[in-house]
Chains A and B, each alone.
Chain A
């Protein structure tokens, strides 16, 4: 290597010079490295700045937490969150709240600029860095807001809860407030109740079957309108697992606009209301009497025209004109007979014990928060025992009652209703036994008799063995029972050869109409509802037609027990059953 500039003046190489040159080169290289390092550092910094130029995230935490989707047992979507554009503000960055409010009001429409201005000013004074302007804006407004370029105003994506099935399951699902917090039903329970553990799940599968729910709502709604009732409750319960397949309370509401629902619409009459269910309760009192072992199904009881207990007199709507067997007391729904049966079984003790075992003195442990406490008398003198035996002087929620009946006609073990789908793999764990197998068999048979040849003929469904019990309860008012206000109800179970589903319909204050033959009896108002529901949901749920052999067995048992023609004075006519079948 040669350095011409230096070589020209110095002919002879000088070792000192050579050393100097080497040093210069060394320094040169060092500087080159230094500059290269600086250059690298520059390059290193440059792209870093580019990422930083992305829109600065406003100092806001995600204000709306996503909720789990709610689906029915078949995966039908019942509630979900959809992303919607929303408008928020950082009040600290808004220099002129008045102008901002005015411009936003012009873009969004339907907003009072003065109100918005006040809100922004207040938030600014409070030092808050976040304020909602609109939780939901139209996609077209989104662009307009962007174009307006207002400082301190941010577009955000918010979650908006939608209930695509509309009012189909309003009381079950409940609804949410503007901040996506649950205010009723499952939504409420997800935030504050027993379902809180599932709050962050992606999806919550409910026990209900939308097809069953829709059929139930349809049929119950028809009766609700036909009889101009003030309310109605219907539910379908899986007797084996306690899963609720449907729960309808009328009047209902659209959860998409839950906030606008009136209180009577919001009330969940199936769980949140306690009712004196009247004769429906005979299912329980008869179970108590039979389970005591002191009363048999075929045992005959004299039925006086009126039963006096202390100062009280009990009467029957349809007075019996001959002694009734226990089964007939049930199928003809005799109050006097039921009270006598319960007394024959030992009075208050067996009845109380049965109701206690069935959990009727406690709140139903369903996942919802809207659960009414049963209203029960403290002391049980004879008159209370008698009235409770036919469903007065004790008020429970229809759901609680349905659980009790399911426990008794299922297999005699306690059933607890649930709104969550039980995975098929979970083995069923039977609850504690509440009634003997024999009581269960007797009860099923008496319920069959009620439909085949009793007060509930209108609940019969060709193809299925249906059993049930009607109820027509006088409603209590101020200072006694109200004249003309009744609760018409029917609890049905099918197929009776191997009970699988329970259907309950309660219609509050029906007005007599032509469809019920001018009456308001449970057998005329509620039984047809249950019959239609069973006819619709049975095939949907894949319930096979009942075994005719079981029906013949039931019928033979009845033929062996029914009164002979000589003692029959206008009571049941069994020929009618044969004719219809």
Chain B
């Protein structure tokens, strides 16, 4: 074996060692980053849990009731509840959001959207009473 080969071998061994060392270092770096991220996630999760509890505490029924009183809100009354089909514009509502595809003379397909129909006569049921 020539001495050049020996030196090359040594250099290769050294290079391999350095590569391994560098890899190891990078992996450790990554591991540390990962651990930090995991810690941050855990901390964030803990914060979310506390915030959820806080939110739930702030929306507790007694507090809502007090605020509702201050704002002049009152429980919904049954006579304010109306079936959709009893509304004057029930049909318009029924078709709101639906669409109809038409074919134009030119052969193109075109989508027509239904718009809620606004009744021209003045609304007579402002108070929530159902029109028969």
Interface residues of A, Cβ cutoff 8 Å to B: 1, 22, 25-26, 28-29, 32-33, 36, 39-40, 43-44, 47, 50-51, 76-78, 80-83, 157, 162, 164-166, 168, 210-211, 213-215, 217-218, 461-464, 535-536, 538-540, 542, 544-545
Contacts and interface: CB of A to CB of B under 8 A. Distances in A.
11 contacts: A25-B6, A29-B10, A40-B21, A77-B55, A214-B62, A463-B81, A535-B75, A538-B78, A540-B76, A545-B79, A545-B83
Given A25-B6, A44-B24, A81-B49, A535 B77 contact: yes
Contacts of A50: 28
A218 B10 CA distance: 86
Contacts of B28: 47, 50-51
A214 B61 CA distance: 6
B82 to A, nearest CB: 8
Contacts of B21: 40, 43
Given A462-B78, A539-B77, A29 B9 contact: yes
Nearest to A25: B3
Grouping DSSP codes into helix (H, G, I), strand (E, B) and loop, the B interface class, with mixed when no group exceeds half, is: helix
Contacts of B65: 214, 218
B60 A165 contact: yes
A164 B53 contact: yes
B80 interface: yes
Contacts of A40: 17, 20-21
Contacts, number: 111
Nearest to A542: B81
Top 6 A-B pairs ranked by shortest CB distance? A214-B61, A164-B56, A463-B78, A77-B56, A539-B76, A164-B57
Contacts of A44: 24
A80 to B, nearest CB: 5
A257 to B, nearest CB: 15
Contact of A33 (B13, B56, B75, B76): B13
B10 A32 contact: yes
Contact of B17 (A39, A166, A218): A39
B129 to A, nearest CB: 12
B62 A166 contact: yes
B52 interface: yes
A76 to B, nearest CB: 7
Nearest to B83: A544
Contacts of B83: 544-545
